[in-house]
Structure 1
Amino acid sequence: MVLINNALDEIGMTPWQWKLFVFNGFGYAVDSLLIVCQSIAQPSVDREFGRPNKRIAGIALASQVGLLAGAALWGFSADIIGRKLAFNSSLFICAGFVLIAGGMPSYISLAAMVAIYSAGAGGNYVLDATNLLEFLPVTHTWLVTFMAIWWAVGYTITGLFAWGFMSNFSCPSKSTPATCHKDQNWGWRYLHFTAGSLVLVLSVARLAFIRMEQTPRWLIAQNRDAEAHSNLERLAIKYNRPFSLRLEDLESKGRVLHTEKSRWSALRLWKHFGGLFETRILTYSTLVIIANWFVIGMVSPLYGVFLPYYLASRGATVSGPPSNYTTWRNYAINQVAGLVGPIIAGVLVETKLFGRRGTLAVGALITMIFQFGYTQIKTPAQNLGVSAAITAASNIYYGTIYAYTPEILPSAHRATGYGLCVVLNRVGGITGVLIGSYANVETTAPLFVCASLFGLLVFLSLLLPFETRGKRSV
C-alpha cells in the first residue's frame, strides 16, 4: 500500500483525476437530488392521493428503506467485485425509475418506485468518495471534502426545479384528495420527469467521457499487482509523468492471504467486516464514526418532517402569507445557501487549527446554535435567514464526514466500512421519520431535540481518535 501511495504521489494530479472529481461528483449530486425530490413531492402526493397511514410519511419512509438497501448492496459488494460496476451502472438505474415514478397513478406505486430509485442512489457517495480518494495524491486529498459541493449542487438544482414546477402546478396547500385532482397537480410529476432526464444525461456522460478503472489499492488487496501496476503506468505515460514503481517491487512483498478462495467464500466475506475491528484503536474508531453516522441520519429527516408543520402552526407571522411561490422560492434560496458549507469545510480541513475532527465539531456546533435560535424566530425574514444559515452550517459537517470516513477506513475493507456507516445512517433516518410522524410536530420540542443531537455530534466528532490532515490513508 505504501508503494502504491508513493507512486500516486510521484505521478501527481493529472487531468484524468480532475475528470474523476467531476464525474464522481455526479453521484453525490444525484444522491441529494433524489433524496430531496421525493421530500418535495410528499405534500403534493398526500393532497392528491391521501396517505394509506394517516401518521406515517410513507414516501419519506420508502426513500429511507431504499437508501438503506442501496447502501448495503453497493457498499458491501464493492470490496468484493470492485468499484467499477457501481460507477458505471448506478445512475442508469436511478434515471429509469425516477422517470417511471413521475407517471405513477397511486400512492403505493409511487412509494415503490421511490424505494427502487433510492436504492440505486443509496451507495453513490460510498463509492464515489472511495473511488476518488484511492486515485488521489496526498496533496489533493482535500478534494474528497470539497466534493460535497456536488451534494449541495444536487439540492440546489432540485430546489430551483421545485420553485418553477411546484409553485405553478400544484394544488393549494389546504386541498384534500376530494378537491385535488391530477390535472391540477402535475408539479411533482414534472419534477420527477425533469430530474430523471437530467440523471440520464449524467449517466451517459460518465460512460462517454471517462474510462473508469479499478482502483490500484483495491487491486493489490485482491493480489492483482500486475493490473495495479499497469493502470498506474498507463496513467503516467499518458500524461508524461515520472513513474519509478516496478512490478517486482510489489510482488516482492508477498501474497495476500486467502485470495485463492472464491471472492464470495465465507472467510473472505468475513475478512471485510472483521478487518474493521482488527485492533483496539481501529475498533474504537469504527464504533465512534458509526455513531456519528447514526445520529446525523436520525436528525436530518426529523428536522425535515416536522419543520413544515411547525411553521404552519406559527402562521403567517413567521412563514409569510400562504403561497406556493413563496414556499418554493424560500426553499431554493435555502439550497443555494447550502453551497457555502462545503467550501468552508474544504478550507478548514486543511488548516492545522481545525483539521478534519475540528471541522466536524465546528459544523455541528454552529448548526446547534442556529437550531436553538430557530425556536425564537418571529418574522418571515428571520425564518429565511436562520434556516439558510442552518443549511450552510450543517453542510460543513456533511462535507467533512463524507471525506473523513473513507480516510480512516483500511483500503481493503473501505467500501464495506463506509457501507456499514451508511446503513446505520439509514436506520437512523427511518427512526427519525417515525419519530417525526408520531411526535407533536407543532411545538418547538422537535427543534430542541434536533439541536441537542447536533450538540451530541460535537462530542462524537472530538472523540474520533485519528486526525488525517496531511496523512496518507491506507
Structure 2
Amino acid sequence: MALVNAAIDEISMTPFQWKLFAFNGFGYAVDSLLIVCQSIAQPGVDKEFGRSHKIIAGVSLASQIGLLAGAALWGFSADIIGRKLAFNSSLFICATFVLLAGGLPDYISFSTMVAIYSAGAGGNYVLDATNLLEFLPVSHTWLVTFMSIWWAVGYTITGLLAWAFMPNYSCPESSTHATCHRAQNWGWRYLHFTAGSLVLVMSVARLAFVRMSHTPRWLIAQNRDEEVLMVLEGIAKKYNSPFSLTIQHLESQGRVLHSERSHWSALRLRKHFASLFQTRMLTYSSLVIFANWFVIGMVTPLYFVFLPYYLASRGAKVHGDKGQYTKWRNYAVNQVAGLFGPIIAGVLVQTRVFGRRGTLAVGAGFTMVFMFGYTQIRTPSQNVGVSAAITAASNIYYGTIYAYTPEIPPSAHRPTRYGLCVVLNRVGGIIGVLVGSYADVETTAPLFVCAGLFGVLVLLSLSLPFETRGKRSV
C-alpha cells in the first residue's frame, strides 16, 4: 500500500482524477435527489391515494428500508467484488425505477418502487467516496470532503423542480383523499419523470466519459500486482506523468495471505469485519463513528424528510399562508442555501485549528443552535432565513462525515466499515421516520428533539480518536 500510495503521489493530480470527482459526484447527487424526491411526493401521494397505515409515513419508511438494503448490498460486497460494478450499474437501476414510480396507480406500488430505487442509490456515496479517495494523491484528499457539494446539488435540483411542479400541479392544501384526484395531482409524477430522466443521463455519461477500473488499493489487497501496475502506468502514460513503480518493487513485498481462497470464503468474509476491531483503538474508533452515523440517521428524516410539513405549518403560523407556492419556494431556497455548507467544510477541514473533527463539531453545533432558534420564529423572513441556515450548517457536518469515514479504515476493508456505518444510519432513519410519523410535525416538539440530537453529535465528533488532516489513508 505504501508503494502504491507513493506511486499515486508521484503521478500527482491528472484530468483522470478530476473526471472521477465529477462522475463519482453524480452518485452523491442521485442519493440526495432521490431521498428528497420521495419526501416531496409524500404529501401529494397521501392525499391522492390515502395512507395504507393512517399514522406511519409509508413512502418515507419504504425509502429508508430500501436505502438500508442498498447500503448493505453495495457496501458489504465492494470489498469482495471491487468498486467497479456499482459505479457502472447503480445509476441505471435508480433511473429505471424512478421513471416507473411516476406512473404507478396506488400507494403500495409506489412505495415499492421507492424502496427499489432507494436500494439502487443506497450505497452510492460509500462507493463513490472510496473510488475517489483511492485514486487521489495526498495533496488533494480534501476533494473527498468537497465532493459533498454534489450532494447539495442533488437537493437543489429537486428543490427547484418541486417549486416548478408542485404549486401548479398539486391538489389544494385543503383537499382530502376523497377530493384529490389524479387529474389535478400530477406534480409528484412530473417530478419523478424529470428526476428519472436526469439520472438516466448521468448514468450514460458515466459510461461514456470514464473507463472505470478497479482501484489500485483494492487490487493490491487481492494480490493482483500486475493489474495494479497496468492501471497506474496507464494513467501516467496518458497524462505524461512521472512513474517509477515496477512489478519487482511490488513482488518484493511478498504476498497477501489467503488471496488464493474464493472471494466468498468464510475466512475472507470474516476478516473484513474482524479487521475493524483488531486493536483497542480501532474498536473505539469504529464504535464512535458508528454512533455518529446512527444519530445522523435518526435526525435526517425527522427534520429533512418532514421539512415540507415544517415549512408549511410554520409559514401558516407566522403569516397565515398555507399556499403551495410559498411552501415550495421556501423549500427551494433551503436547498440552494445548502450549497454553501460543503464549501465551508472544504475550507475548514484543511485548517490546523479545526481539521476534520473540529469541522464536524462546528457543523453540528451551529445546526443545533439554529434548530433551537427555529422553534421561536415569528415572521416569514425568519421562517425562510433560519430554516435555510439549518440546511447550510448541517451540510457542513454531512460533507465532513462523508469524507472522514473512508479515511480511517485500511483500503482492504474500507467499504465494509463504511457499509456498516450506512446500515446503522438507515436503521436510525427508520426510527426517525417512525418517530416523525407519530409526532405532530406541526408543533415544535420534533425540532427540539432534532436540536438535542445535533448536540449529541457535537460530543461524538470531539470524541473521535483520529485526526486525518494532512495524513495519508492506507
Could you say whether these structures have the same fold, taking a TM-score greater than 0.5 normalized by the shorter chain as the test? yes
Q: 1:310 to 1:164 in 2, by over 3 A?
A: closer
TM-score (norm 2): 0.98
Matched AA of 1:18: W
Secondary structure, counterpart of 1:352 in structure 2? coil
- Would the aligned equivalents of 1:313 and 1:442 in 2 still touch at CA under 8 Å? yes
* Residue aligning to 1:404: 404
* Matching residue of 1:80: 80
| Aligned match of 2:416 | 416
2:378 maps to a residue whose letter is K
Give the TM-score normalised by the residue count of structure 1: 0.98
How far apart are 1:440 and its partner, in Å?
3.5
Provide the C-alpha distance between the structure 2 equivalents of 1:389 and 1:371, rounded to a whole number of angstroms: 9
Residue range with higher mean Cα deviation, 457-466 or 298-307: 298-307
2:328 pairs with 1:328? yes
* Aligned-partner Cα distance in 1 for 2:304–2:333: 16
Name the residue aligned to 2:369.
Answer: 369
8 Å contact kept, 1:317–1:379 = no
1-structure distance, mates of 2:90, 2:166? 27
Q: Please tell me whether the aligned partners of residues 314 and 383 of structure 2 are also in contact (alpha carbons under 8 angstroms).
A: no
What is the SS of the residue equivalent to 1:417? Answer: helix
Partner of 2:249, secondary structure, is helix
The code of the aligned residue for 1:415 comes to P
User: Does 2:15 match 1:19?
Assistant: no
User: Which residue is 1:62 aligned to?
Assistant: 62
- Give the AA of the match of 2:33: L
The 5-angstrom pairing of residues 29-68 of structure 1 reads 29-68=29-68
- What is the deviation of 1:380? 1.1
Deviation (angstroms), 1:305: 5.1
**Structure 2 CA distance for aligned equivalents of residues 101 and 416 of structure 1:** 30
Structure 2 equivalent of residue 175 of structure 1:
175
Deviation at 1:461, TM superposition (A): 0.3
Structure 1 segments (4+ residues) deviating >3 Å: 304-315
1:311·1:319 contact (CA, 8 Å) conserved in 2? no
Contact persistence 1:86–1:127 (CA under 8 A): yes
Letter in 1 for 2:427: V
Q: What secondary structure is seen at the aligned counterpart in 2 of 1:331? A: helix
| 1:220 alignment partner in structure 2 | 220
Aligned match of 2:146 = 146
Alpha-carbon RMSD: 1.1
- CA deviation after TM superposition for structure 1 residue 304, in Å: 3.3
Cα shift at 1:441: 3.2
1:294/1:384 CA distance change after superposition, 3 Å: same
2: CA distance, partners of 1:183 / 1:251:
67
Q: Which residue of 2 aligns with 1:10?
A: 10
2:308/2:331 contact within 8 Å kept: no
C-alpha contact (below 8 Å) 1:9/1:137 kept by paired residues: yes
Q: Give the secondary structure class of the aligned counterpart of 2:470.
A: coil
SS in 2 for 1:245: coil
Q: Which runs of 5+ in 2 are unaligned?
A: none
| 2:159 aligned with 1:159 | yes
Q: CA deviation at 1:444?
A: 2.0
Q: CA deviation at 1:322?
A: 1.7
Q: Is 1:319–1:383's contact at 8 Å kept on the other side of the alignment?
A: no
Q: Distance in 2 between matches of 1:311 and 1:242?
A: 55
Q: Call closer, same or farther: CA 1:374–1:298 in 2, change over 3 Å.
A: same
Task: Tell me the amino acid that sits aligned with residue 22 of structure 2.
Answer: V
In 1, the alpha carbon distance for the partners of 2:167 and 2:368 equals: 31
Judge conservation of contact 1:295–1:453 (CA < 8 Å) in 2.
yes
Matches within 5 A, 1:216-295: 216-295=216-295
SS state at 1:180 partner? coil
**Distance between the aligned counterparts of 1:73 and 1:391, measured in 2?**
29
Number of residue pairs matched by the alignment: 474
Contact 1:317 1:380 in 2 (8 A): no
Paired letter, 1:8: I
C-alpha contact 2:312 2:322 (8 A) present in aligned 1:
no
Describe the SS at the equivalent of 1:346: helix
> Which amino acid is the alignment partner of residue 209 of structure 1?
F
The residue that corresponds to 1:122 in the other structure is: 122
In 2, the alpha carbon distance for the partners of 1:347 and 1:403 equals: 13
CA distance, structure 2, for counterparts of residue 389 and residue 201 of structure 1: 32
Cα contact 1:312–1:319 (8 A) shared by 2: no
CA distance in 2, matches of 1:89, 1:30: 13
Write the distance in 2 (CA, Å) between the matches of 1:370 and 1:192: 31
Residue range with higher mean Cα deviation, 47-56 or 310-319: 310-319
| Distance verdict in 2 for CA 1:279–1:369, change over 3 Å | same
Distance 2:47 2:426 in 1: 27
Pair 388,310 (structure 1): closer, same or farther in 2 beyond 3 Å: closer
Q: Is the 8 A contact 1:126 1:419 kept in 2?
A: yes
The answer to whether 1:392 aligns with 2:392 is yes
Tell whether 2:374 aligns with 1:378. no
Give the deviation of 1:439 after TM superposition. Answer: 2.2
Aligned-partner Cα distance in 2 for 1:270–1:319:
58
- The equivalent of 2:207 in structure 1 is 207
**Residue range with higher mean Cα deviation, 21-30 or 315-324:** 315-324
- TM-fit CA distance, 1:177: 1.6
Residue equivalent to 2:108:
108
Paired residue secondary structure (1:243): coil
CA deviation digits over 1:127-170, x for unaligned, max 9? 00000000000000000000000000000000111011111100
Q: Is 2:302 aligned against 1:302?
A: yes
Q: Deviations over 1:59-78 (max 9, x none)?
A: 00000000000000000000
Write the distance in 2 (CA, Å) between the matches of 1:117 and 1:442.
Answer: 29
C-alpha change, 1:182 and 1:43, in structure 2 (3 Å) is same
CA shift, 1:175, in A, is: 1.1
* AA matched with 1:461: S
* DSSP 3-state at the match of 2:425: helix
